[in-house]
Amino acid sequence: MEPRVGPIPKEDPEYHPYHHPAAGWGAAKSVTQFLVRERELVDGPRAIMKMNHENTGFDCPGCAWPDDTKGLKLDICENGIKHVTWEMTRKRVEPEFFAAHTVSELFEWSEFELEDQGRLTEPMVYDPDTDHYVPISWKDAFELVGSTLRGLENPNQASFYTSGRLGNEATFLYQLMARELGTNNLPDCSNMCHEASGRAMEASLGTGKGTVDLKDWESADALFIMGVNAASNAPRMLTALAEAYHRGAQIVHINPLVEAAATRTIVPHDFMDMALFKTTKTSTLNLQVRIGGDMALLRGMAKAVLEEARLDPKALDQEFIDRHTTGFDAYREVCENTSWAELERQSGVTRDDILKAARVYCDADRSIISWCLGLTQHEHGVDTVREIINLLLLRGNLGREGAGPSPVRGHSNVQGNRTCGIDHRPDDAFLDRLAEYCKIDPPREHGLDTVGTIQAMRRGDVKVFVGMGGNFALAAPDSPITYEALRNCDLTVQVSTKLNRSHLVHGRQALILPCLGRTEKDHQRKGLQSTSVEDSMSMVHMSVGMKRPASRHLLSEPAIVAGMARAALPASPTPWEWYIEDYDRIRDTMSQALDGFEDFNRRVRLPLGFRLKQPARELVFLTPSGGAEFSDAALPDVVPAPGTLALGTMRSHDQWNTTIYSDNDRYRGIKNLRELVFMNKDDMRERGISEFDPVDITSTARDGSHRHLNGYLAIPYDIPRGCAAGYMPEMNVLCALVDYSTQSDQPIMKHVKVTIEAAA
């Protein structure tokens, strides 16, 4: 049995379907409870007022939703406040803590308890003789990393993971170190979230990012919100939805669950709304698609647009299609050849309902389609995102105000990480510039991503794993196999702010390197430093910490990278120490080496920063044909085999990926419970399962192997038949490593094939 992830509930589990609006007073109450628990009633609120402020505050370490363009004074959300407070906690993990507990003992603790110990304070090294972590100086820690890396037969025996909180400057140095060493093994968390979106947009439009910004959100006539739990995971989207509703825009939510954002909200920073309990609807139509059925639904909408165009040619933007796209005829053919019966079966949505969505789309002059993990963590994630682009192209919803694709990215700087070089498949143009301006000879051979790294560690081909933030052991699929892989390494290095599973699942040698968080002041030789981040909509801006560091031993992430690099690359042409004295120097190099970063130091200090050029937005398509390319992929069969269900793993309201704040999921009406599975009541009845009955879940992988989770409690939920859902990371044990998408190499975390039966 796996150690538990969430806290041990103090009371019995409860489930009461939730009928209150998203955000508002429920959020305020939850925040207050959290501030009290973290003993942050004084500094917490002060720091929160500094968050997301035009280049004078720090960027919220939560999601990647952009900051308000009008400099809103309180552009924050409940979950953002929790993320910040979590980092600012007064609790500390000192060397005495490690002296008191062996690693084997800590392994039995829940993830919640581990992180709840507070901030890491000193570098620690694993001592196999005593099974304790013991203090080590930074110098010796760097030397251990350096000598191990220097001792490898070839640089591809190391892999360098990034979790999306890392700022741009540290990111740039980190990839430079890896490439100077000679490897493109740069897995990152986006290999598990938006890899499919990047690949799809790259293929269709020539650049792997969305094209819209917040202003476009403010002028769209129709918003299609697909596969995202916005009220929990991108809460500031609620403001945009409420504003759109007031304006009379149509808002269509497409999700197997009717999530809180698909109902109504109290705009969290609008004090008058709060005082008057004024709610705003945030949806005009909800379609409960089956898990994996989005592509069929989108294709159905496209088919309806084409049918409409026979009566009203204006339904299509033929001029746009002729001037800017290729592949339209083949796409039209594939839409026409797919029967309504098949589209209904695969989407799980009736033709009438698909036509309703298509009506909204045809009536709107300007449409935005937004999506998150509900679309990407599937075998056919790339085809599905390309289908979004297909649909947008039909009506020229690209390159003009209020229209276009808008992926909701995850971690606050996951997009910036990719822009600044965390890419296991870098293109030659990027590498050529790196070679020219950094005087290195970067490897050209593609590197390993997340799944590839786990496979290689298992085989013994990767011997050194460096985790730049995150919690690789618990975030990755197939926990026991990922553990086995990490334990097979000669050295694992985790650069972290808090204790987590990845410190306890380690290689023969292991280091914990504690770093400054984003809220903290970063003093270097030339004074106080700031770092930059890029949001979901390509805005790059500064983040400046304002708190005293949690411990005087902490180093910044750029300094840790530089320390490792100097030790590993004694003859390096890169002036590592000089860079760390003043991050402007890193930015000067970035402005030469990275496309779009010209004049970086000046532009990033403008009040809202600057927006990276998005060629597709200007209708410049860096595709082989020079146009936006329709795709005509075949519709996959996503209907579960008889007796089986499609299970999606997702987040609860009170968690940040593997960081668990409580075992409540307020908007879904759950209290004191994480070990649950949401099921359709008819699927439950068919199996003789009642509410709160324990059930056994068995997944079947591509290779026929089975995985189990026993004793989870069944919750009857408004979810389509044949679908089930539960929480990550507990359910990662059901996700087989072999089940990754052949299109994006992303682990298939939203469509696990399972059987569920009453517990034996």
Ligand X SMILES: Nc1nc2c(c(=O)[nH]1)N[C@H]1C(S)=C(S)[C@@H](COP(=O)(O)OP(=O)(O)OC[C@H]3O[C@@H](n4cnc5c(=O)[nH]c(N)nc54)[C@H](O)[C@@H]3O)O[C@H]1N2
Q: Which residues bind ligand X (CB under 6 A)?
A: 62-63, 79, 115, 163, 165, 189, 192-193, 226-229, 232-234, 254-257, 259, 289, 291-292, 294, 372-375, 377, 410-411, 468-472, 475, 495-498, 500, 515, 517-518, 557, 648-651, 655-659, 728-729, 731-732, 735, 749-750
Window 164-193: residues binding Mo ion (CB under 5 A): 193
Site of tokens 């499919």: 196
- Give me Rg for the CA atoms of the chain: 25
Contacted by 374, from ligand X, Mo ion, none: CB < 5 to 8 Å by type: ligand X
Nearer to ligand X by C-beta: 196 or 335? 196
Contacted by 655, from Mo ion, ligand X, none: CB < 5 to 8 Å by type: ligand X
Window 191-230: residues binding Mo ion (CB under 5 A): 193
What is the Cα–Cα distance from 378 to 613, expressed in whole angstroms? 29
Instruction: Tally Cβ neighbours within 10 Å of residue 68.
Output: 19
Nearer to ligand X by C-beta: 434 or 511? 511
Question: Tokens for 621?
Answer: 């398509």
Contacted by 209, from Mo ion, ligand X, none: CB < 5 to 8 Å by type: none
Q: Least distance (Å) from ligand X to the CB of residue 247?
A: 24
- 17-to-286, 465, 669 alpha-carbon distances in Å: 18, 43, 5
Nearer to Mo ion by C-beta: 228 or 733? 228
Do residues 704 and 736 lie in contact, with contact meaning Cβ atoms separated by under 8 Å? no
Best CA proximity match to 235, nearest among 99, 364, 68, 114: 68
Contact flags string 55-84 toward Mo ion, x per CB under 5 A:
------------------------------
Nearer to ligand X by C-beta: 411 or 753? 411
Contacted by 125, from Mo ion, ligand X, none: CB < 5 to 8 Å by type: none
Do residues 758 and 693 lie in contact, with contact meaning Cβ atoms separated by under 8 Å? yes
What is the Cα–Cα distance from 170 to 538, expressed in whole angstroms? 18
Residues 6+ apart with CB under 8 A from 329: none
What is the Cα–Cα distance from 21 to 422, expressed in whole angstroms? 39
Site of tokens 């805005």: 539
CA 661 distance to own-chain centroid: 18
Contacted by 518, from ligand X, Mo ion, none: CB < 5 to 8 Å by type: ligand X
Contacted by 651, from Mo ion, ligand X, none: CB < 5 to 8 Å by type: ligand X
Question: Tokens for 534?
Answer: 């890029």
Contacted by 203, from ligand X, Mo ion, none: CB < 5 to 8 Å by type: none
Tell me if 410 contacts Mo ion by CB under 5 A.
Answer: yes
What is the Cα–Cα distance from 500 to 111, expressed in whole angstroms? 6
Q: Are strands 222-226 and 367-371 parallel, antiparallel or unpaired?
A: parallel
Q: Report the SS3 class of residue 403.
A: coil
Q: Least distance (Å) from ligand X to the CB of residue 692?
A: 21
Q: Least distance (Å) from Mo ion to the CB of residue 61?
A: 13
Nearer to ligand X by C-beta: 230 or 684? 230
Nearer to ligand X by C-beta: 366 or 707? 707
Nearer to ligand X by C-beta: 52 or 591? 52
What is the Cα–Cα distance from 454 to 457, expressed in whole angstroms? 5
Interface with Mo ion: number of residues (CB under 5 A): 2
Nearer to Mo ion by C-beta: 265 or 657? 657
Site of tokens 């984003």: 518
Q: Least distance (Å) from ligand X to the CB of residue 428?
A: 28
Q: Are strands 14-15 and 670-671 parallel, antiparallel or unpaired?
A: antiparallel
Contacted by 733, from ligand X, Mo ion, none: CB < 5 to 8 Å by type: none
What is the Cα–Cα distance from 120 to 641, expressed in whole angstroms? 48
Residue type, position 311, single letter: L
Helix-helix angle 294-311:381-394, to 10 degrees:
20
The H or E element spanning position 543 is strand 539-543
Q: Least distance (Å) from Mo ion to the CB of residue 410?
A: 3
- Residues linked to residue 534 through DSSP beta bridges, in sequence order: 540
Nearer to Mo ion by C-beta: 348 or 747? 747
Q: Least distance (Å) from Mo ion to the CB of residue 165?
A: 11
What is the Cα–Cα distance from 472 to 457, expressed in whole angstroms? 13
Nearer to ligand X by C-beta: 406 or 658? 658
- In the complex, which residue's CB is closest to Mo ion? 410
Contacted by 383, from ligand X, Mo ion, none: CB < 5 to 8 Å by type: none
Contacted by 356, from ligand X, Mo ion, none: CB < 5 to 8 Å by type: none
Q: Least distance (Å) from ligand X to the CB of residue 293?
A: 6
Nearer to ligand X by C-beta: 630 or 678? 678
Binding site for Mo ion (CB under 5 A): 193, 410
